[in-house]
Amino acid sequence: MSKHSISDAAKVVGKHRSTIQKHIRDGKLSKLIDNEGNAYIETSELLRVYKTLLTPVEKSSGVAVENLQQTTGGSISIITGLEARLEVEKFKRESAEALLQKATASEEEWKEIANRLSLLLTDQRQSIKPSNIRFQKFMKKITR
């Protein structure tokens, strides 16, 4: 996962450093703090908010790209791109799972409402079928 300082992140997305800081303050963009207390922003977060990157990630990250390309056979940019795409897909999956959970809960609520309505619409009283004629006459008298 590529990590960017606020200045590097601004270069990658083509924004001013103060714009990145404003988006962090407003909660639009999230930053993380490493073990040494330095703030950084992940590439996936930049992709989530800004959708595209203006400069390749490895050129702005401050890493010695030539050394990495020699040791990895030039596949760093491919790996970085795949990592960023993976993070975006993870975010989409998590969003879809949250929507699915919400829909499932809503479905359960609607089923409960449907059950209650069906109970209200059907007669829940036990029918009394008196076999005694006297009882039937008595009931007619008191219901007049």
**Among 5-19, 46-60, 103-117, which is the least confidently predicted range?**
46-60
Q: What is the CA radius of gyration of the chain?
A: 33
Percent of the chain with pLDDT over 90: 24
Name which residue leads in pLDDT, 66 or 41: 41
Res. 14: pLDDT tops 70: yes
Distance, in Å, from the CA atom of 5 to the CA atom of 11, rounded to the nearest integer, reads 10
User: Tens of pLDDT along 108-135?
Assistant: 999 999 988 888 887 666 555 556 777 7
User: Tens of pLDDT along 90-115?
Assistant: 888 988 999 999 999 999 999 999 98
Helices 43-50 + 6-13 axis angle, to 10: 40
Res. 31: pLDDT tops 50: yes
| Whether the Cβ atoms of residue 9 and residue 50 lie closer than 8 Å to each other | no
User: Tens of pLDDT along 61-78?
Assistant: 444 444 444 544 556 667
Distance, in Å, from the CA atom of 138 to the CA atom of 11, rounded to the nearest integer, reads 94
Compute the residue count for the chain: 144
Res. 140: pLDDT tops 90: no
